Each structure stands twice: as C-alpha cells, then as structure tokens.
Amino acid sequence: MTTPKFTYPPPRTQYCLLSFPAPFVLLVTLNRPRDLNCINGAGHVELDAVWSWMDREPSLRVGIVTGAGRAFCAGADLKEWHQSNLDSTPKPSFIAGGFGGLSRRSGLKPVIAAVNGLAMGGGCEMIVNADLVYAAPRAVFALPEAKRGVIVLAGALPRLVRTVGRQRAMEMALTGRNVSAQEMMGWGVVNGVVGDGDGPETPVLERKVVKEALRVAGEIAANSPDSVIINREGVKIGWGGVGVEEGTRLWADMMGARTQDRVNMEEGVKAFVEKRKPVWRTPKL
C-alpha cells in the first residue's frame, strides 16, 4: 500500500484514519473504538473536510468508510451532548454534508460503506445516503432516537422511505428496533452481506467486508471517472423524486451533454476497438 502523490494535501484528522489501499481509492476508518466510533462535533467537521477533499483530489475516484473495533458508528457523541446541556452551551449545528459529512452529502464521487458492526442513529443515517453498502453478518442497524427523546434529524427519513417504503421506514423510526444485515439487504439498503468469523480484533484491511468494498471500488475506479460521476448524478436525480421524464431531461441537459466533448469517451471507444484497457484522464467537472 503506497500513498499516492496528491495535488491537494489531505486534511489532518484526529478522529479517523486515512489510508490508500488501492489505486484511486480512499479508505476512511472511523477511529474512536472505545466510544463505538460515535462522532463528536469536531469529528463531523473533520469528515466533511475529508469528503470534500476527496472530490477535489484528482488521484482519488472512490471512497470507502468503515469503523475500527466492533462498531461502524454508534451515532452521536451523547456524552458531549449531555455536557453541553449541563453547561448550557449551544450544540453545534449540522454541517452541510450532514452526520459524518455523509448523511446529506451530494458530492461528486461515490462512497461505499463497509459496515463492520453497529450502525446506530447517525451511523445508520450515514449508510442510508451512501452510494453502496456492504455489511458483515453481525452488523446491526437502528434508528433508536425515539428511545432517547430525540429525533432523526440528519436526513435519513426522507431518503429511507424512498428506499424501503413507508411502512418499513415507519417501523424503524417509531420503534427504534435493531434490524439485521440480512433484513436490511432484503429491504434494499444493503448491497451484500459478506463473510463470517471476522471479529473486532481482525485488522481492518483483513476484514471480508472491507475486502469486498475494495473489490467493488476497484471495479468503479477502473471505469471512466467522468462517466462514473455523471451516471451517479443520473441515479441521484431519479432517487430525488422527480418524474422519470423530468429526471431524464435534467440529467441530459445538465450532465449528459457534457460528455460529448470528453476525451475519455473517445478513449473508451478507441480502446474497445483496439482491444486494450483504456487509459483514463482525470475529468475537469
């Protein structure tokens, strides 16, 4: 694993680890295992900066997020929240990208969630808005906010109902019950449940769920980077709830037409004719 040469320096991080386990791939490991990787106010700002940097950095095409220890992310740092109540200090407002910089992120480049364990509250909100989700068999998902007298505020509910339907979204939001990885895959939130036997002591890069996320990230990174960005926009427009014809028009007008003078389009066709792998250039979107 070698660190690529960056056009822009990566942000300094305290609560997550950045690594580059494959060409064009950024791996973000939430790194507060004693606190089940719950995210505090500074952590939200940090992660938002990481995803923004990934979008700008030409040497990166795909991001993966996972957690150290036995949790993916147990949600908000309630100890920090409680202390702010005691001190009567204002709680930090959510950043534009939402919880962990991800729950309301639009962005340019795809992010894959490799859910190794607990994904609760805000941690679950993050994965609802991830582009692809792979989970370990022992992963557990929940929106337990109603049990704590708080609300699901980071953007998951309108997104969740589009993915799983009204009744299932209501069940998660109103009961706060734990949902298994297998059940979430059946509901369409999780792309695949991967592996067995991995424990919290297993090194991150040796975990089967991370290996699967890396495999899929490699497939994405091998494709034309501008095509990936533009195709992702087309899916997002449809998921956002506009009609299919209006979505097609918006996508074609705003993004599709921009491919016509792309060197990667010419390169992809030429490489196919010449029976070789294409050599992609970094897009300027």
Q: What's the CA dihedral at 118, 239, 93, 43 to 10 degrees?
A: 40
DSSP 29-83: EE--GGGTT-B-HHHHHHHHHHHHHHHH-TT--EEEEEESTTEEE--B-HHHHHH
239 and 200 in one domain? no
What is the rounded CA–CA span in Å between residue 228 and residue 33?
33
Question: Position 103: which residue type?
Answer: S
Q: What are the pLDDT digits (tens) for 75-127? A: 988 777 666 666 666 655 668 899 999 999 999 999 999 999 999 999 999 99
- Look at the block and give the residue holding tokens 């497939």: 219
Range of the domain at 257: 225-273
| Active-site residue set | 76, 122, 125, 145
26 and 128 in one domain? yes
Strand, helix or coil at 195?
coil
240 and 125 in one domain? no
Average pLDDT over residues 12-26: 97
173 and 88 in one domain? yes
Structure tokens at 224: 């034309």
E strands, the chain, are 16-22, 25-30, 62-67, 71-73, 111-115, 118-120, 132-135, 140-142, 179-180, 192-193
Structure tokens at 24: 């064009």
59 and 42 in one domain? yes
Burial per residue of 142-152, b for 16 or more beta-carbon CB atoms within 10 angstroms, e otherwise: bbbbeeeeeeb
Residue 260: is its pLDDT beyond 60? no
Flag the least confident range among 20-29, 78-87, 264-273: 78-87
Question: Position 161: which residue type?
Answer: V
138 and 30 in one domain? yes
Q: What is the pLDDT of residue 93?
A: 60
Burial of 93 per CB tally in 10 Å (0-12, 13-18, 19+): exposed
211 and 77 in one domain? yes
How far does CA 11 lie from the centroid of its chain? 18
Average pLDDT over residues 177-205: 94
Flag the least confident range among 78-82, 142-146, 149-153, 262-266: 78-82
Q: How many domains does the chain have?
A: 2
Average pLDDT over residues 203-218: 97
The pTM (predicted TM-score) of the whole model is 0.88
234 and 199 in one domain? no
Residue 155 sits in a domain of what CATH number?
A: 3.90.226.10
Domain end call among 221, 236, 260: 221
Strand partners, 132: 112
Q: Domain for residue 284, yes or no? A: no
Q: Domain for residue 9, yes or no? A: no
Structure tokens at 51: 């995803």
- What average pLDDT does the chain have? 88
